[in-house]
Amino acid sequence: MVRAWTRSGLAVVLAGCVLLPGSSAVREPSPRVDADTTRQLTAAARVLLVRRSEALVQRRHRDRRTPTEVLGVRISPGVARVQERAVRELENRNRAPVEGGPAYTGARTRLEEGKAIRTGDRITLEAVEHTEVRYDTGTLVQSVRRGFEFRTHGEQITLVGERVLDPAAHPVNDPEPPAR
């Protein structure tokens, strides 16, 4: 509060507002996504990678359908189609680390909880996938950085895309790129 005196001797009171850090001023929301939501997004993304890794190992009676929702995160129909096509291709190709070599006998994939950033109605999750595939004479271990795109509509989150972030990486649980 500031007081100023006029010539007539009347006091005039001026009030001023100053916005200080930590005050109740309106702030822009942080682009970082909270830890619980990041875990939820990571779990939805992990389902895709685990199913593709499992497709490398020959087993009967496997459910090939991609879930429509994981922990409240929807999987878009487009992502589900791409995923199911990838699983079919991985099941039908040579299931060995080298052509004519021993077949994969087991696969395990985990996705490290990464960082999730919100930009408008989009959330991008960047995480590192660790996949280990076993075969009769050894083990192949691979770590790949991946990006997952989510779109929000109100409280609903939908997985709408996935990509490998390391351009030189060739994940064992990804289908072959289309021939050019």
| Amino acid letter, 14 | L
Mean pLDDT of 58-84: 86
| 86 vs 92, higher pLDDT | 86
Most confident of 60-69, 96-105, 119-128: 119-128
Which of the four pLDDT bands, split at 50, 70 and 90, describes residue 28? Answer: low
| 84 vs 62, higher pLDDT | 84
Which of the four pLDDT bands, split at 50, 70 and 90, describes residue 171? Answer: very high
Q: What is the pLDDT at residue 33?
A: 87
Per cent of the chain over pLDDT 70 is 76
Q: Which residue pairs from 75-82 have beta carbons closer than 8 angstroms and sit at least 24 positions apart in sequence? A: 75/44, 75/48, 75/158, 75/159, 76/158, 76/159, 76/160, 78/160, 79/48, 79/159, 79/160, 79/161, 79/162
Lowest average pLDDT, out of 32-41, 45-54, 96-105, 141-150, goes to 96-105
